[in-house]
Every structure is written in C-alpha cells, then in structure tokens.
Amino acid sequence: MTLKSADHFHDGPLNDVEVLRIRNDFPILDTEVNGFPLIYLDSGATSQNPLSVMEAEQEYYEQRNSAVHRGAHTLAVEATDVFEDARETVASFIGAESNELVWIQNATAGLNLIAYSFGNASVGTATPEARKFALGPGDEVLVTEMEHHANLIPWQELCRRTGAALKFIPIHDDGTLDMQAAAVLIGERTKVVAFTHVSNVTGVINPAAELTAMAHKVGALVVLDACQSAPHLPLDVKALDVDFAVFSGHKMLGPTGIGGLYGRAELLDAMPPFLTGGSMITTVTMTEAAYLPAPQRFEAGTQPISQAVAMAAAANYLCETGMARIHEWEASLGQRLVRGLEGIEGIRVLGPASGVPRAGLASFEVAGVHAHDVGQYLDAAGIAVRVGHHCAQPLHRRLGLTASTRASTYLYNTTAEVDAFLAAVAGVRGYFGATGA
C-alpha cells in the first residue's frame, strides 16, 4: 500500500466544482434529514467515509481476514502484510517511519498510553533506560488552557500519582495562546509540554514548532494532540520536531476504533509498556517477561487489522486530493463562517476575529438561546452541528460559557452549504423570541 503524492494528481486550489465531484465519493452526503438535504458540519467530531475506505475494509474481510503476526498459513501472511503496509502508509502520512507508529484505539487511548507509561517509569521497578521518563515531586507537566479533556485528564492523573505539578499556559481573550506566559512557565522543572495543534473549539492553530523549541531548550518532552490538524493540514512530525503525537482515524475519513500514536523510535523503545499480554513479548516465564521493541510492545492482543487497512485508504484519499489544497479550502470556509456569523446580530464567535488564520471551524454563542436549542433548530433544517462544551470545559469556562455551537467543515463541504448554514443561524433568535438587545 503506497502513499500517493497529491502533487501528481491535481494542480491549483480546490473549488466548489471539484468539491461537488468529491462529494460523489461520500454516499451519506446524499441523505435527507427531516426532509432537507443533509448539510454535514460536524466533521470536527467525526468525518464521513469515502467509498474507497469502506471498500478497503470490506475487501480485507472478504479476502484476507486472519490474525496477524501469529500464523504461517497464507491468509495469516497476507493479513500481516497488509496490516504492516497500512502502518507504513499512515506513518508516511505524518512524516514518520513505520516503526514510530503505534496503532491505538483513538487519540484518547494514545494520550493515556503515554501518560501511564511515564507513570510506570516513575516506580522503583522501572528499567534504567525508562527512568528518563520518570516524574516526581518538583517536576512539572505543562498543558494549555484550551486542551480537550483527553489531553488534560491523563496528565492530571499522572501528576496525582507521581507528585509532579500540573501547570497550564493561559489564553488571551481571543482564544490565542499567551506565548509570553509560555516562555515564563517553560523552565528547568518542566518535564512534559502537552498541547493541541489546533483547538477543537476556536480553530486556533498553535505555533507548534515554536513551543517545541522552547520545551526542548529545557530538556522537556513534547506531546502533540494532532486530532484537529492531521486530517486538515499538512503534518510533518519530524519538521515540527515533536517527541510524540496522537491522531484519530475517524476524524480523517477513516473508521472508528483506530488511531495513530507517533513517538521517536528511541523514546518508544525505552518506554515501559502500558498494556501487557500476547503479541508484545519475546520470552515469558512464570515469573517474568521480556518485551518486543516498539511499536509491537504497545500493541498487546488482537489488533484492529481491518481498521488499519481502512485508515491507510483514508490517508491515500487525502493525499490524492492534496493536504495543502484541503487546508487552503477549509481555511477559506472557516473565514466565510466567521465573517457570516460576525454579521448576525446577537452572535458571539469564539476565538479570533475574521481575517486571523484559523482552521475550518467556528464555535459561537447565540444570545438568549441555549446551544442545544440552536443545534435542534439547525437539525430541523437538515444541518448537523456540534453543541455542548466539546470536551473542553476549562476553555469554555475561561470564555464565560458552559456550552457553544460548533460548525466544522471538511474537504466535502461547499460554500453554498456554509451560506445555507448562516441563513439558518440568522433565524434562530427570531424563532426563539430572543431578538432583544
């Protein structure tokens, strides 16, 4: 399975004509909801799947279904081959080597794996090479105020278990990261800096390379939450120089139940395992076990084989379209969303104002109307959005809210869909009788 370079397929930016062609690859987009054509603006939560992804998984089950790395018969060999080919494809998608990609259930599982592995390195039985990950009283883990709960709670728990202190980089009122505060907070006590590449609430794109350089200057490890960047913009973990990164298949046109954890090879090989059992060992006696090198040491038990094959198909689809082209298209849709929302009375957009670079999403508050009511109103018109705190309660609390409505775009959304969404939002306050100042 070979990762395909977009440069050989298309030239020039995406436009509505090509997006309409792309939409033909996504059967669900022909669905009607409540009598209206579906306008799917919830890809920030879960993206839709092209036919090639669904067919890849089906083809695996029809022709190659077997346990990997466990048998010598033909099906087992073929299953192992496509499984490891998929690893190579997805690793290449983010600029990594195949031995630096661990299959995980999702990004949340990947972040927990890292945190629990560091915790295992903090006990007296850890191997000498694993002690580099150990934390204790006096050490600090640094996150940001905009983190998804998945990149916050595992670090809270790690600090609770080890006695390390958890600190956070605050944000400005416009949702951007306070880099001056970051420069002060990242110091000799900092052992881990974990941050999101792109905020799932505000669409802010954080200066990942700059933060990484600051962390490495003091010897800290960097963990990147790439859930909202890997699907939407060109991601090169080597160029960013991060130590670890996580991302989920279901946000990048792939299936649920699988994601990727990138780690520098020398770091993964030194880390103690998190889950133990079959398929991650070399020898086992009744009293002890020796573990395989990464990535297998972190892949105990039966693996998500068909999902890996399908995730690789998703990576190929994105590369064929062109990640730079996708990012440019979504950035234009994001600006269209923000400009339109800013022009509607009673709407407060979270994050930077129009004109400031952002991902292709926008979260907003409607004065006098709860976010859940906004979502139901839009759903009645066939428009799917996300409502709630988006697993980022501290960020919402910092912005003075308990919930917001989020519209998030992808490569299959058109400008006409964004305009239809904006027209629907313009009618929300009138419908609920909240048209006063």
Q: State the catalytic residues.
A: 391
* Residue 405 and residue 387 in contact, taking contact as beta carbons nearer than 8 Å: yes
Report which DSSP code applies to 295: T
Angle (CA) 177 178 179, round 5°: 100
Tokens of 198: 């792109």
Helix 74-93 / helix 51-63 crossing angle, nearest 10 deg: 160
Q: Could you tell me if 179 and 207 are in contact, meaning their C-beta atoms sit under 8 angstroms apart?
A: yes
**Which among 317, 342, 336 has a CA at the least distance from the CA of 412?**
317
Whether the CB-CB separation of 392 and 228 falls below 8 Å is answered with no
Q: How many CB atoms lie within 10 A of CB 297?
A: 24
What count of residues does the chain have? Answer: 437
Q: 169 — phi, psi (to 5°)?
A: -85, 125
The amino acid present at 232, given as its one-letter code, is H
According to DSSP H, which parts of 95-178 are helical? 107-121, 153-162
C-beta of residue 407 within 8 angstroms of C-beta of residue 340:
no
Phi and psi at residue 223, in whole multiples of 5°? -120, 120
Name the residue among 259, 313, 309, 319 with its Cα closest to residue 51: 313
